[in-house]
Amino acid sequence: MEVHMIILTGVLVTVAVYLLLSRNMIRMILGTAVLSHAVHLLLITMGGAAEGHVPLLGESDGPYVDALPQALILTAIVISFATTAFLLVLAYRTYEETGTDDLNYLRRVRRE
Amino acid sequence: MNKFRGTGGTGATAAQFLLNLFIAFLWMLLLDEDKFRVTTFAAGFIVGIFIVFFMHRFFGTQFYLRRMFAIVKLMFIFISELVKSSWSVIGQILSPKLTIRPGIFRYDTVLESEGEVTTLSLLLTLTPGSVVMEVTEDGRGLYIHAMDIESSKQALIVQLKNFEKAIMEVTR
Amino acid sequence: MLVVLGVFFPFAAAGLIPLLYRLIPNRRIGWFVMAVPLVLFAGLLSIVPGIAAGKTANVTVPWIPDAGIDLAFHIDGLSMIFGLLITGVGSLVVLYSIHYLSERESLGHFYAYLLLFMGAMLGVVFSDNLMVLYAFWELTSISSFLLIAFWYHRKGSRYGARKSMLITVFGGIGMLAGFLMLYSMTGTFSIRETITLAPELSEQPLYLAAMILVMLGAFTKSAQFPFHIWLPDAMEAPTPVSAYLHSATMVKAGIYLIARFTPIFGGESTWFWTVSLIGIVTLLWGSFNAVKQNDLKALLAYSTISQLGLIMSLLGFGSAALAAGTDAEQVLLAQAGFAALFYMVNHSTFKGLLFMIVGIVDHELGTRDIRRLGGLMALMPVSFTLAVIGSFSMAGLPPFNGFLGKEMFFQAAVTVSSGNPFTADGAALLFPVVGWIASVFTFIYCMIIVYRTFLGPRQPEKVDRLPHEAPKGMLVSPAVLALFVVGIFFFPNLAGKYLIGPAMPAVFPTLAGKPGLVPHIQAWHGFNTPLLMTIGVIAAGIILFVTFRHWRLIYRFPPFRWNLDTVYRGLIGGMETGSTLITKRYMSGNLRDYFVYIYVFFLAAAGGSLFLKGAFKPDFRMETIAVYEVTFVLIMTFAALAMPFVKSRITATLLNGVLGYSIAIFFIFFRAPDLALTQTVIETVTTVLFLLCFHFLPDWKPERAPARTKIINGLIALGAGAVVTGFALTVKGYVVFDSISGYFEDSYTLAGGKNIVNAILGDFRAFDTMLEVVVLFIAGIGVYTLIVLKAKKGGGDIEGK
Amino acid sequence: MNADTIVEYTAAILMVTGGLMSLVSAIGLIRLPDVYTRSHAATKSSTLAVLLTLLGGFLYFWALERFISVRLLLGILFVFLTAPVAGHVIIRAAHRSGVKLADISKKDELAEAKERLMEEQNLERLNREKKNDSGV
Amino acid sequence: MKGNDVILRTVSRIVVFIILTFGVELFLSGHNNPGGGFIGGLVLSSALVLLYVVFDIETVHQGVPLDFKKVAAFGAMLAVLSGTAAAVLGHPFLSQGFGYFDLPIFGVTELTTVTIFEAGVALTVIGTVETIILSISKDV
Amino acid sequence: MNNILVLPMVIPLLTGFVLFFLRPSVRAQKLVASLSILSLIAVSVRMLLKIRDAGILRLDFGGWKPPFGILFVGDSFAALLVLTTSIVSGLILFYAFAATERRHENMFFYPFSFFLVAGVNGSLLTGDLFNLFVCFEVMLLASYVLVTLGGGKSQLAESMKYVAINVVASWFFLVALAFLYGTIGTLNMAHISVRVAEAGQGPLLSAIAVIFLIVFALKAGLLLYFWLPGSYSSPPAPVAALFAALLTKVGVYAMFRVFTLIFYHDSSITHGLIGAMAVLTLAGGSLGAVAYKDIRVIASYNVVIAVGFMMLGLAVFNEAAFRGSVYYLIHDMVIKALLFLAVGSMILLTGESRIDRMSGLIRNYPLLGWLFFITMLSLAGIPPFSGFIGKVYTGLGAVEGGNYWLLLAGFLSSLFVLYSLLRIFMNCFWGETTITREEQRPLNKKKLIPLSLLGALTLAIGVGTQVLAPFVADAAHVLANPEIYIEAVLGEVQPDE
Amino acid sequence: MVNTLMLIALILFSFTIVIAVYRIIRGPSKPDRVIALDMIGVNLLASIAVVSCLLETKAFMEVILILGILSFIGTIAFSKYIERGVIVERRHNR
Ligand code: NA
Ligand code: NA
């Protein structure tokens, strides 16, 4: 169950990096969002194959899948949510101030 | 001012109590225990107290036990209408050539309260070939999109009348 | 005790002077300042007999014992000479400055810097610890920097200060590296211990590098070719400073260093050739350039460069003694070292004197340009006399100490050329020849000083003021120096016995005690080669001076016009423009470029180490694979690939939502209900956030980028995807260790929870969760702040009330 | 073949039926001419498909371990309650944002009503302006 | 032509209660079932999001007069303080305790300090999500 | 139990919350902040002494033994940096009390600063690799907010880049963690080290190490520093000072930790790659420092140079060089704070930021001028200021290790440092005075005191190096001998064997 | 056999999702795309129900309910965005 997941991760990374390299802010931010999808998938894939039961004691007698990566991903998900939220708002504030959502033009924004 | 307050304020306290019971019941169901336990129900009731306390300003819809039954009954109507409508739509989708003539028409209902109008709209939306698009400001006029307006407008109106009657039986 | 005092007294005084200046805000402050070097001078004098008898004074104050860096001070014969020069000339310079500087100047700063310098200089010559020496070494550069830029509002002052700082610090850093190499060979920072270990060093691989780096320090500090260029510009400093730092003391720190390190590096042919050649080239180049100068101070600066070269070359000659075979040869060669120190003392006297006289001329006429000067003899007779003494001494004429020094130089040059351990006889003939030519130029510029300034026609129309003799107070210091110039000529052996002689064992420790190491100096030693050379110098000098007008055009020829200053300016300018060009080229300010750098580096470094170093061992084994999983993989691939190409941001956001929800179902496939729950909610909330923010942003336009950029982007993206995939496939096949998470399966007994993930989050790794909550909180308040900020700017407060 | 097996088969068949209906509505999503008609497919057949599947799941767990999953029942209730609302809201948004009906559509009383309202408002404004003009 | 949100609002009022109850259940049962502070908090805040979308900020604010910034701060502080409490009592920082108690109404119940910690988590999540959404929305 | 270890993180966290609630009263905020900083310093000193007496300290959160739970590990290296962080951030905050606009104070400037400090201290102390990621995020999120504080056009534009790049850096961190967990199956750094050593750091683990290198290089500004000058030169002075003093150092610290404790088996990375990156960083930083006329940008490139210099120690990889880097880290935290505050003050006073638009400031603000002068000397590594000893040890390490190119690059870079700052000093402080006594804006004591204290600190560290010497020696010793650290963490538990 | 039927159901649901993704990409109107997303949500929900049966675990029941809730919220939010460009208003002005 891993190989196709790994390839999928690769596809997601490719798309994310391509989006990241765009000039448009929203494209770039969507790129970061896809990046985090990719890494969450990667984390769970690297945690090992899904051979085992849901890590709920009492649901079954085990063996259970590795629960640690799940906990790590949970933390990672919340953190990437926090970051994305901030980045989004920063993007629109930047647009409001500079009048452009083109990252290429941001370099020309000189100090006032 | 308070837009949450529904029609009539007399039964507010009683309704809150009912809502609380509802939550307790919900709680009990959620816990998925093998048999009914008073303690579970009580715990649910306490949870309900918090929620209702927290949300009490939103409260307003009158909840009578009677209406609970009505809702269950209406849900069965929903289901049957849903099955019928789905079947019809599937037929239209799978017919080799699309012959439908969609359109929007207005229907003025005799129902008054928000709950009644909503129920009607939900039913109607689940009825074959019709979706409620707008409710006029006075809450009496419904704009309905029909999948095949030529063949089914009249049938729809008849059906609407029946629904109105059924709902009023429940609510009044 | 005197040693510690010697170093720290000036610093303490330097700290106090600005405070004292608040009480005595006029030139009388100088008298207090003068007390410092005077007291130290007296103290040092008092130990001269002891030092002459071979004793040394030592003291160690711990500083960083762990690093072997202690404030270890050591006075021997060599440091004594310098100590006396520093304090002696220092006293005279302060005395001179009392009258020289206007009361409008910030005297507090001036004297503080001066004392700072004095302490630093004493520190350099007294230190026995390489690091401490380095510390004081840099401090001399700094105080020199501050003194050169004393008139910091002048552009020239700043330029000169910066130049001197850059060049001397450059040398200093090299020297530090050399010291560190020495340490790595010896394990000690103590100079004396290093000297005792010297015989074992020459075989070490770092020996040569250390030597060259130490020389670098010395040459930059002592303004040796090609590093001499800072010295003329340092003349922007007030004249007392020039007299003190840039002729009598600081520039001699390099001489000191070479002398001090002769026991360690001397006797090596590299050392001999480098020091001697650099010295002799500097001597020639300096004297040759001094002749063409119009500014008296610049002339003196080049003269100083040249004379420092002379001293340096003498030290180089002398170092050969340590490699010479017989005692006689050793002693004969070592006398070059003696000559170096002797010449150095002389130079301090007559050059200090000349600077002070030039200062007086400048002070009285407001100019130092010899094209505007002339005929001052009648108006300033005392100054004239003193100038003649100084100039003639420098020119090497009797009855002044310069004559003795010059004779000894010629003698040493002849000795080296006639035989030294590193070449066959006569191969070093260039030393006396070049030395002689340089002496001719020296003679010429000395005559220029006297004739163009004090003799010849007066040019009152070119000068604003009517000059008259300087105040007596200003003449005292030069007069005292003149006294030494004459005195040493008549009693050279007094200096030889008490001053120079005791230093010889420090420079040539292996020759200590050998008879004849300290030569008997005679003014008249018969018609030997040196005397003939001197006569030749005078003859040629007079002819060339008289015909100067005719041959000065030579300076216009490119090889002579070609200027190291131009190189320096070119370097600095080139560095500035070059760095601007380069930096602005890649620091484009464009986020896309930065991402490109990051990912290209990722591809090169991580991808390189994966694919090129044999790490890539993909594992394509598939345990179970279900059709529906493949379908969901396809769904995600489909949705993802469409994202960059859709025309509307809403569509892209929806597709992102599809990805998020689909990941939730993969979490389900991986038996991770908590993850699936969190993922779905977070995905929805994120989507809502996107929608909220879209209100403020324009819909996106098609990506306007050249095809080339798009292709590069695509390749980088593909590469990143491939590298991640490659890694993951390899990691999949790497089965060596079990995960530690088996432990958590006891979560019910350990932490009282049946949901293992929840137990990890709430208990085993609760700390992560706690911080994650903090992260979330910061983000939330951060968003609030970002938005409130704007409202405040616009004037309105969005908080309503 | 005991009762539980029958229930399990029933559950599985319910699920397959749900899947088929779902696919049919997906086809509708492709075939139908405009957003309004497509919404019929989505809000009705798709919803029913899901409900069937959930019901299947409910039965399956009941057969398997006599487990009454309230969450599934609640899920059914929830989809039941919200699916038509979602359909209504999307359609309304579509119309309000000016998405055209397919050409085959017969009539649009809502659009007519909206136009009438606009005309009335325009008329009113014109009248007001006129009044203001005359008042000056 | 103005419309009427009656359908959406009426249904949402019911739906919100279901979501809220479900959220609390998720929060409390997370120790043994899927759920916990994070998810509970997220579900509760999504209920509020629904209210904000269906109604409007001022209306909801009348119903839930909370300063969500402070809720978030209080929650995060609670999470940190629950760890500090253990330290004050001489246990390693963030030590959690659990035990089984016979309570009057609830019967034998497992009580754990994790619940306090998770409450902090939940409050932070609610507070933060609402703060973000409200901040952006008020900017319109 | 060593609950003291968590205090450097918990004190600022709780302070942050309290300050958040104290928003209406700036005075109360200042009071609480001051008390908190003082206690933070006291705790750090106490911790350092405790480590000296008892060796490396360990705190297992929740009492879960390593490698299963998260833990903080306090060795001299971490504790020294925690102490420096506390002191330096305290002084910066003290400056901020006087320099921060009311507008920013209302924007939770102080709480965010404390969260930043908490993140930094956590990153320094943690012994768990995933927790390091989380601590980084605490630090980064706080920095995201702080970098936008002020919110001008260019500031937001630069913030955008800063945040975006750090998001990508965090992504790399997670990717690296995923691969590491997939191969090694554990998160405790000491345990990872044991397992890596057991498996032998083969090509795969080395390649994963390279990803970690990228992560930390991005945070530290090692070669991948292009985000740095823009984002460090746009926010208000106290924020820039906090960034310059703390943020890159955490990246540098992490690199030292990871590449001395875990991935020290492959010299082509530790010596080769890191060395090359350090040299390129020095070169790029040096060129940048002389390329611009904006004093904030010049200062920012000096941050880059310092990173390159500190990394020389890791590239050289011997105890002397480690010592040098530890000294230099401490020095650089102090001096970068001073540099950025001084630069900020200059801009505040003149309203200009380009060297060709300022002149003769020393006449108006002599103390500021001399402080800048001291900063310059200290940065150039001139004794007896704090930069000297680090330079000496790094140089010594390079000589001993035979890394002459690194030595050359490191020492040459200090010339560029000197040149770049000389340019500021000569153009801005020297030259004709353009501001008359009447028009000059006052530079009040409240701002000058923290500046002077930082100046005194750089001198004190240089002169009183001996006080630090045993701690630094211990820090370097542990870096050079990872088994000490491992023993302290896993001593009584043997998870595998 | 039961499992096979369930797998078939699962594949059918995933095909539906594929088609819905196509609709999202094709559009043409925004409401079209939102309808498709809504459809994906409910189909995922159904898929999870099937997967739960396949894996014989009750652990995913919460996910089913949550997906239902969220796809509703998401649809409402998107609709409001399409309708007004703003999804949360400060005050409903009517
Ligand atoms: Na593996
Ligand atoms: Na949980």
* Extents of the domains making up chain C: 266-556, 580-766
CA dihedral C602, C607, C608, C609 (to 10 degrees): 100
Is the pLDDT at E10 greater than 80? The verdict is: yes
The per-residue pLDDT for B65 is 43
Q: What is the tens place of the pLDDT at every residue in F370-427? A: 999 999 999 999 988 999 999 999 999 999 999 999 999 999 999 999 999 999 999 9
Is the pLDDT at F470 greater than 90? The verdict is: yes
- How high does pLDDT run on average in chain C? 88
The per-residue pLDDT for C526 is 74
Q: Is A34 at the interface with chain F, CB within 8 A?
A: no
The per-residue pLDDT for A60 is 75
Is the pLDDT at C469 greater than 90? The verdict is: no
Please return the burial class of C47, using the count of CB atoms within 10 Å of its CB with bins 0-12, 13-18 and 19+: middle
Q: What is the tens place of the pLDDT at every residue in F102-117? A: 777 878 899 999 999 9
Ligand with an atom nearest the CA of residue F208 = 1
Cα D66 from chain centre: 33
Gap from E91 CA to chain B (nearest CA, Å): 32
Mean pLDDT of C215-239: 92
Q: How many CB pairs under 8 A join A and G?
A: 9
Q: What is the tens place of the pLDDT at every residue in C13-48? A: 888 888 888 888 888 888 988 999 999 999 999 988
Mean pLDDT of C209-218: 95
- Cα C530-C536-C538 angle, rounded to 5 deg: 105
- Measured between beta carbons, the chain E residues lying within 8 angstroms of F62 are 86, 92-96
The 3-state secondary structure of chain E, one letter per residue: CCCCCHHHHHHHHHHHHHHHHHHHHHHHHCCCCCCCHHHHHHHHHHHHHHHHHHCCHHHHHHHCCCCHHHHHHHHHHHHHHHHHHHHHCCCCCCCCCEEEEEECCCEEEEEECHHHHHHHHHHHHHHHHHHHHHHHHHCC
Chain E residues whose C-beta sits inside 8 Å of any chain A C-beta: 32-34, 38, 128, 132, 135-136
Name which residue leads in pLDDT, G15 or F438: G15
Q: How many residues make up chain B in this entry?
A: 172
3-class DSSP state for residue C642?
A: helix
Q: What is the tens place of the pLDDT at every residue in C263-287? A: 999 888 899 999 999 999 999 999 9
- Considering the domain boundaries, does residue F495 fall inside one? no
Q: Which helix (H) or strand (E) holds D4?
A: helix D3-31
Q: Is E90 at the interface with chain F, CB within 8 A?
A: yes
**Nearest by CB: F61 against E77, E90, E92:** E92
CB atoms within 10 A of CB F356: 10
| Residue of F134, F158, F167 to mutate, testing the A interface (most A Cβ within 10 Å of its Cβ) | F167
The 3-state secondary structure of C562-573, one letter per residue: CCHHHHHHHHHH
Name which residue leads in pLDDT, B22 or C192: C192
Residues within 8 A of C (CB atoms), G 17-76 only = 17-18, 21-22, 24-25, 27, 30, 33-34, 36-37, 40-41, 44, 47-48, 51, 55, 57, 59-60, 62-63, 66-67, 70, 73-74
Task: Check if the beta carbon of residue F448 is closer than 8 Å to that of residue F370.
Answer: no
Distance, CA of C268 to CA of C320 (rounded, Å) = 8
Per-residue pLDDT of chain G (94 residues; tens, 9 = 90+): 888 999 999 999 989 999 999 999 887 888 999 999 888 888 989 999 999 898 888 889 889 999 999 989 999 998 998 888 888 888 865 4
Q: Note the ipTM here.
A: 0.92
CA dihedral F25, F28, F30, F33 (to 10 degrees): -120
Buried b (16+ CB within 10 A) or exposed e, F180-192: bbbbbbbbbbbbb
**Nearest by CB: F396 against C134, C180, C615:** C180
Q: What is the tens place of the pLDDT at every residue in E17-30? A: 889 999 998 898 88
* Touch B-A: 3+ C-beta pairs under 8 A: no
> Residue F60 and residue E92: Cβ atoms within 8 Å?
yes
Give the pLDDT band (50/70/90) at residue F494: low
Ligand 1 mean position, distance from CA D84 (Å): 47
Distance, CA of E136 to CA of C184 (rounded, Å) = 63
Mean pLDDT of E36-60: 91
Q: How close are the terminal C-alpha atoms of chain E, in Å?
A: 23
The per-residue pLDDT for E3 is 64
Please return the burial class of D109, using the count of CB atoms within 10 Å of its CB with bins 0-12, 13-18 and 19+: middle
3-class DSSP state for residue C286?
A: helix
3-class DSSP state for residue C129?
A: strand
> Residue D78 and residue G34: Cβ atoms within 8 Å?
no
The per-residue pLDDT for B1 is 37
Task: Check if the beta carbon of residue A37 is closer than 8 Å to that of residue C663.
Answer: yes
Ligand 2 mean position, distance from CA G38 (Å): 27
Q: Which of E59, E62, E55, E66 shows the shortest CA–CA distance to E129? A: E66
The per-residue pLDDT for C129 is 94
CB atoms within 10 A of CB E105: 12
- Measured between beta carbons, the chain G residues lying within 8 angstroms of A53 are 57
CB atoms within 10 A of CB G26: 14
Task: Check if the beta carbon of residue B112 is closer than 8 Å to that of residue B104.
Answer: no
Alpha-carbon distances of C249 from C234, C246, D37, F432, rounded to whole Å: 14, 7, 99, 31
Is the pLDDT at E109 greater than 50? The verdict is: yes
> Residue F59 and residue E91: Cβ atoms within 8 Å?
no
Residues within 8 A of E (CB atoms), A 58-97 only = 58, 74, 78, 82, 85, 89
> Residue F10 and residue E93: Cβ atoms within 8 Å?
yes
Least confident of B7-16, C244-253, F220-229, F462-471: B7-16
**Nearest by CB: E140 against G65, G70, G86:** G86
Q: Is E26 at the interface with chain G, CB within 8 A?
A: yes
Which structural domain range is residue F208 located in? Answer: 3-490
pTM: 0.92
> Residue C681 and residue E80: Cβ atoms within 8 Å?
no
**Which chain E residue has its CA at the smallest distance from G68's CA?**
E19
Least confident of C413-417, D46-50, D103-107: D103-107
State how many domains chain F has: 1
Q: Which of C231, C235, C185, C236 shows the shortest CA–CA distance to C211? A: C185
Is the pLDDT at E114 greater than 60? The verdict is: yes
Q: Which residue positions in chain B have pLDDT lower than 70?
A: 1-16, 32-38, 54-71, 78, 169-172
Ligand 2 mean position, distance from CA E26 (Å): 9
**Nearest by CB: G66 against E43, E52, E57:** E43
Q: What is the tens place of the pLDDT at every residue in F119-148? A: 999 999 999 999 999 999 999 999 999 999
Distance, CA of B90 to CA of D41 (rounded, Å) = 8
> Residue E37 and residue C762: Cβ atoms within 8 Å?
yes
> Residue E1 and residue D82: Cβ atoms within 8 Å?
no
The per-residue pLDDT for D134 is 59
> Residue A74 and residue E38: Cβ atoms within 8 Å?
yes
Mean pLDDT of C603-625: 86
Across chain D, which distance is largest between two alpha carbons, in Å? 94
Give the pLDDT band (50/70/90) at residue A112: very low
Name which residue leads in pLDDT, A80 or D98: A80
**Nearest by CB: D82 against E1, E11, E22:** E11
> Residue F206 and residue C613: Cβ atoms within 8 Å?
yes
Which subunits sit against B, judged by 3+ Cβ pairs under 8 A?
Answer: D, E
Name which residue leads in pLDDT, D131 or F496: D131
The per-residue pLDDT for C328 is 84
Task: Check if the beta carbon of residue A74 is closer than 8 Å to that of residue C678.
Answer: yes
Q: Residue ranges of the alpha helices (H) in C396-468? A: 401-418, 430-454
* Token pair for F168: 């990508």
- Name residues whose C-beta falls within 8 Å of residue F359's C-beta, 6 or more positions apart in sequence: F427, F428, F430, F431, F432, F433, F434
- Considering the domain boundaries, does residue F496 fall inside one? no
The per-residue pLDDT for C801 is 28
**Which chain B residue has its CA at the smallest distance from E56's CA?**
B3
Mean pLDDT of C133-160: 92
Gap from A56 CA to chain G (nearest CA, Å): 8
Q: Is A35 at the interface with chain C, CB within 8 A?
A: no
In eight-state DSSP terms, residue C419 is: -
Q: What is the tens place of the pLDDT at every residue in B85-107? A: 777 777 877 888 877 888 888 88
- Measured between beta carbons, the chain E residues lying within 8 angstroms of F61 are 83, 92-95
Q: Which of C317, C319, C330, C346 shows the shortest CA–CA distance to C517? A: C330
Buried b (16+ CB within 10 A) or exposed e, A30-65: bbbbbbbbbbbbbbbbbbbbbebbbbbbebbeeebb
Chain B residues whose C-beta sits inside 8 Å of any chain D C-beta: 26, 29-30, 32, 75, 78-79, 82-83, 85-86, 89-90, 92-94, 98, 100-106, 121-122, 125-126, 128-129, 131-134, 143, 145, 147, 149-150
Mean pLDDT of C299-320: 93
Mean pLDDT of A61-90: 91
Q: Is G44 at the interface with chain D, CB within 8 A?
A: no
Q: What is the tens place of the pLDDT at every residue in C736-788? A: 888 888 888 888 888 878 889 999 998 899 999 999 999 999 999 999 998 88
In eight-state DSSP terms, residue F59 is: E
Gap from F64 CA to chain C (nearest CA, Å): 7
Which structural domain range is residue A97 located in? Answer: 2-111
Name which residue leads in pLDDT, E109 or F343: F343
Share of chain F above pLDDT 90, in %: 79
Tell me how many helices (H) and strands (E) chain G has.
3, 0
Distance, CA of C514 to CA of F454 (rounded, Å) = 56
Ligand with an atom nearest the CA of residue C621 = 1
Q: Is F222 at the interface with chain C, CB within 8 A?
A: no
Distance, CA of C121 to CA of C143 (rounded, Å) = 10
Mean pLDDT of C478-505: 90
**Which chain G residue has its CA at the smallest distance from D40's CA?**
G35
- Measured between beta carbons, the chain E residues lying within 8 angstroms of C788 are 135
Buried b (16+ CB within 10 A) or exposed e, E71-86: bbbbbbbbbbbbbbbb
Distance, CA of C127 to CA of C125 (rounded, Å) = 6
